[in-house]
Structure 1
């Protein structure tokens, strides 16, 4: 598939790993024979953004790449620009609403509110990052975008990428696996999983570090009396009764600091906001930052930048930096 040269700048493209090259090859081969929506399964840390960038680079027509958080939009856009190519961003959270270039990286929330900006039959490929979020409901945001683009071009190709193709309450998000197994139901939106890279193989090949688990926090907090909701989640007030003000917290954080002595970047996931605020109080004040859902945008960006540039060693958060956060220097994670 040739590259549109209008936005091209001479620059060596990133080198894809063998499994990334195979993923791209499988996707191209699939869409040469069918318009059925396809899925690629790649573990966290395997470089989905580079696979997306390569497919966008190869595409004949226009490409829209969707994600549900601005961090992913920004990250995917940056990987595409690493090829020396320019692309638009359509995301209110990033303060940009551009849609004229061949490739557009957008947040689904912004795109679904401005569908007339994408009234173009030249869109031939729609890529959905974290595609396990595509609902079976016809009026969901993703489905509205898909239906709109298909209305403009019935031959639209739809590709999803995810690390988690199995969802509680739904099962597998695709119908068939390329190894021949039928895994999902007939009403799955995605028909075929065309490539999957196992997590164990990533570790074996040296692309991911072997995880080493320490259950220190589990031993010191007593969660045995808590009952999850039907959705499998715990209520914040119930978690607070266990962790907030617990006599165990100072000792746990002291152990984290000790284990982090020779580490470069430490991420700590707290159970609740009150828990996170308490954790930060026990960390070296000049080396720690806290991000919650209530952290203002500018402050959030400042803290993340300081962490990525290693001005801060510890970054505490509450269910915020879980998707699309790219900090390769992190070498210790504490889940409390």
Structure 2
């Protein structure tokens, strides 16, 4: 009888009672079916779906913030250890030391701490470890030896009435930092991709250390005003009147939580160094946000602040750890205590995937003036070959800016003209010319509201005043923000769906920060993915081993048109905070650049060269073979023959489930339809590409069914419904007729309610049988 029990029954009757019997509190320490990822977002044209999220059968907590054991359950069709490999994978992700698998007859225990005599051993149900036993082993593993350390480590998170708790990686980051601080470590680096909630981590870290009275006076440092203001009004708001922002160079030392801009408390002249108003030991803890930038430089004014308060524990937060010959935050903070990458965030479904469209313009591969050629101001242009590195710095081809604006506008008109867009330009001068070009290409929408496109740069007060409106999800305007440096960091643009790169970005650090402007997911505003348009071959950096995020797809230049490689790692990545370059002739503050003459050429035609398409696979590797070859090879890994595929297809109750599987395996069906033909459904695409069968269009398949007079056995109303379903299939595909929701749409609503339609078939069961038979008829020719 026990063998017939389901996995859930095994949990209820045997596993849960065994855990409770060992002293675990059912309501406070035991959580069942714990989902800890969101499920990777799969983009299918204009719609999206998610992969299955990861879920643990049991997680046991010593305290709410300390998960200590994970259990994977199986039914009696499986052995006691069958769930161990999956449990170990989850335990590694979740940073959980004690791992168990059970089928209700016993437990298999795996000790990741290395303290047990045997790494794996089977134990009886009634011998499951107590909370105190596992906690004691946990403390030994972590080196928690004193009562004071234990008090710090076990301090709870902040929880409000919403019950919102940190995501698993946020918990790991905070726990590791708290444990390290409890053990006396005073320099800590946490690396988490943009959009993963670093300020939430900062808040929970401060809260736990503050509440446990481990740290009493705390400074949060950032390099953007907007970062400080967002932090105060969002995550940090729970500190209430214990918190203040240092501004106007005034100091009130009666608060406990201080927030400040680097440049708000320091300066070249000694009188500007307001931080010296505090004694060197005033702060117990300093959190440094975006510590990859100037704070890492050994001779920077920002670094001086950290060294002045050297007795304080200092925690650096960054998305892009900095390591060059001149700058190193790893040297200052030490190796990262925890890293959560962009690739992992996309895989977990917490960050948005993206596609890349790469363009090469004909003049980018090299343009040389004719002898004695002058620019529009009559200046003779220096005779040499100019390329993409020169454009918009010492040579301005005005038609190039217009060509880029046209391509951006074409894309917007093809997709959504009101999607939030950021265009990154070389400098302020370039940004202003781009704003004008975009405005001219979208004159109809600019006429309705001039804020449709705005230049948001450090020198422009009107533009900076609109930054909050641009990033606010509920605000329509501005739609397009044209910038150069100001918006590379600290801009929480949750609904940004398009990033345009028309700047020579030399630094992996800056590149990752820019990509991070689009990685946030906002389900309320239907933001699940974003697009990158690259006009400078900046996305060559995707191939760098230091970049860990995998695009959904990439559009490459046409064969025979070599892309211009990006510059070597330069020294231009640490730009001044709260500024965006100067306001000189070039719109750039680079000293060497300002000495160089700039030529304005207005009468040279510039056009985009045709592209060919390349894609990135699910594993993040560039697909160098053709899309068809990649599809064929990927399908054949799963289905060894046409018969195997047909058997799976015909036996599936929902064909959409097979289509989802194909997409999850990395088959780019939407792109394949673009290449082979949108008139074919996924079934015919796979049979044709992978197994060399002649495809039939959806209309041909529908017509074959109609010729057979298959509907004759049904009454008039039921027959009309089936014919409408057949027409729906011919127009839109099999996925669009499998859901009952289709019966609420036109033309089905003409036949009455869903219930009335079901009755015409004799009931819901008979309708589903008729739908199944219809699908069988559609694919009989296979």
Q: TM-score, normalised by structure 2?
A: 0.36
Which segment is superposed worse, 156-165 or 305-314? 305-314
Asked whether the equivalents of residues 49 and 76 of structure 1 are also in contact (C-alpha less than 8 Å), the reply is: yes
Report SS of the residue matched to 1:331: strand
| Conserved? CA contact 2:435–2:454, under 8 Å | no
Other-structure match for 2:457: 292
Query: Which moved further from structure 2: 240-249 or 261-270?
Result: 240-249
CA distance in 2, matches of 1:76, 1:198: 22
* Cα-to-partner distance string for 1:129-175 (whole Å, 9 max, x where unaligned): 1112224425x22222123223xxx3x1111011111334347531x
Summarize the Cα distance change of 1:223–1:102 in structure 2 as closer, same or farther, 3 Å threshold: farther
Please name the residue that 1:328 is paired with: 494
1:109 corresponds, among 257, 263, 267, to 263
Residue 471 (structure 2) pairs with residue 315 (structure 1): no
Instruction: Confirm or deny: 8 A CA contact 2:298 2:327 kept in the other structure.
Output: no
Is 1:22 aligned with 2:178?
no
- Distance of aligned partners of 1:279 and 1:17 in 2 relative to their CA distance in 1, 3 Å threshold: farther
Matched, 1:305 2:469: yes
1:6-155 maps to which residues of 2 (within 5 A)? 14-59=164-209, 60-83=215-238, 85-86=240-241, 87-92=243-248, 100-112=254-266, 113-119=273-279, 121-133=281-293, 134-138=295-299, 140-150=300-310, 154=311
CA–CA separation in structure 1 for the residues paired with 2:362 and 2:230 = 37
Structure 1: how far apart are the matches of 2:171 and 2:159?
22
Unaligned 5+ segments in structure 2 are 1-151, 210-214, 267-272, 367-385, 503-782
The answer to whether residue 349 in structure 2 is matched with residue 200 in structure 1 is no
Give the distance between the partners of 1:166 and 1:148, measured in 2 at CA. Answer: 22
1:59-107 superposed Cα distances (whole Å, 9 cap, x missing partner): 2321101112212222222333343634211245xx9865532111111
Q: Distance in 2 between matches of 1:312 and 1:90?
A: 30
Per-residue deviation, 1:246: 4.3
Unpaired runs of 5+ residues, structure 1, are 3-7, 175-187, 229-233
Correspondence list, 1:151-190, <5 A: 154=311, 156-170=312-326, 173-174=329-330, 188-190=331-333
Moved more, 58-67 or 218-227: 218-227
**Secondary structure in structure 2 of the residue aligned to 1:311:** coil
Determine the C-alpha separation between the residues in 1 that align with 2:351 and 2:160: 31
CA distance in 2, matches of 1:195, 1:52: 14
CA distance in 1, matches of 2:250, 2:335: 34
Query: Structure 1 stretch 23-32 or stretch 303-312: which is displaced more?
Result: 303-312
CA RMSD of aligned residues (A): 3.2
8 A contact 1:223–1:242 mirrored in 2? no
Query: TM-score when scaled to structure 1?
Result: 0.78
How far did 1:237 drift? 2.2
> Aligned pair in 2 of structure 1 residues 72, 301: CA closer, same or farther (>3 Å)?
same
Answer yes or no: is the 8 Å Cα contact 1:90–1:99 preserved in 2: no
* Runs of 4+ more than 4 Å apart: 8-14, 95-99, 242-247
Give the 3 Å change call, closer, same or farther, for CA 106–199 of structure 1 in structure 2: same
2:494 is paired with a residue whose SS is coil
Change (3 A) 1:33 1:114: same
* SS state at 2:406 partner: helix
**Structure 2 CA distance, aligned partners of 1:332 and 1:251?**
15
Whole-angstrom CA distance in 1 between matches of 2:320 and 2:199: 16
Deviation per CA, 1:6-60: give whole Å up to 9, x if none.
Answer: xx99765753111011100011111122334111001111111111111121223
Aligned partner of residue 222 in structure 1, secondary structure? helix
1:322 Cα deviation after fit: 0.9
Check the 8 A contact 1:42/1:198 in 2, yes or no.
yes
Query: Which structure has the highest helix share of the two?
Result: 2
Distance change in 2, residues 1:98/1:300 (3 Å):
farther
CA contact (8 A) 1:44 1:163 kept: yes
In structure 2, C-alpha distance between the alignment counterparts of 1:278 and 1:111, rounded to whole Å: 37
Distance 1:125 1:227, change over 3 A: same
Residue 222 of structure 1 corresponds to: 364
